[in-house]
Amino acid sequence: MDWIIGIDFWGVVHGTKEFLPHLIASGDGHLVNMSSLFGLVSMPGQSMYNAAKYAVRGFSESLREEILMAGHPVGVTVVHPGGIKTAIARNARTSSREDHDRNARYFDRKLARMEAEEAARIMVEKGVLGGRPRLLIGLDAHAVHHFARLTGARYQDVVAAVATRTGPPKR
């Protein structure tokens, strides 16, 4: 738990604390913090990752409000990507109950749809240049987010039922 919160939340906080004063002093700039689709909806088996990514969202949105109130000429965007073709699943830690290699192959084949370069382009064009406070990347991120908004907290019932039938294989 300390490891994932340390990287996925405290890494964002410490990076922000280091760079934000320089952006403010320059009179221009944009801070982009990476959350996840799992910072908008929760997924079973991902409780610590969900917690870290929800924390990044809350931190970034609150920080944006504080920057607006202070009148600083710095934008803030929190990014919620869906499945992006990176090595995240191959480099992830898994519990002893899970088959790491099968989970990584499942992510790579079934979930990772967008190239990282395309995700980066969208972040710059729509997030930074477009000034969006919140940016969803990928059709999967949009679909899941809108489904959760339509169903409210009941999305969790559907996620649990689907994950039971179709989730990545376990040992």
User: Which tens digit of pLDDT belongs to each residue from 151-171?
Assistant: 999 999 998 898 887 665 554
pTM of the model as a whole: 0.83
Active site residue ranges: 49
At position 65, the amino acid (one-letter code) is: E
pLDDT band with cut points at 50, 70 and 90 for residue 96: low
| 45-74 mean pLDDT | 95
Strand ranges, E, within 51-169: 75-81, 84-85, 114-115, 134-137
Residue 94 C-alpha from the chain's centroid: 18
At position 100, the amino acid (one-letter code) is: H
54 vs 163: which has the higher pLDDT: 54
The per-residue pLDDT for 109 is: 64
Domains (range + CATH), the chain? 2-166 (3.40.50.720)
The per-residue pLDDT for 85 is: 59
Q: Which of 46, 37, 9 is nearest to 135 (CA)?
A: 37
pLDDT band with cut points at 50, 70 and 90 for residue 80: very high
For residue 30, give Cα distances in angstroms to 16, 21, 39, 152.
11, 12, 21, 32
Query: For tokens 């913090």, what's the residue?
Result: 33
User: Which tens digit of pLDDT belongs to each residue from 23-43?
Assistant: 999 999 999 999 999 999 998
**What's the CA gap between 84 and 102, in Å, rounded?**
18
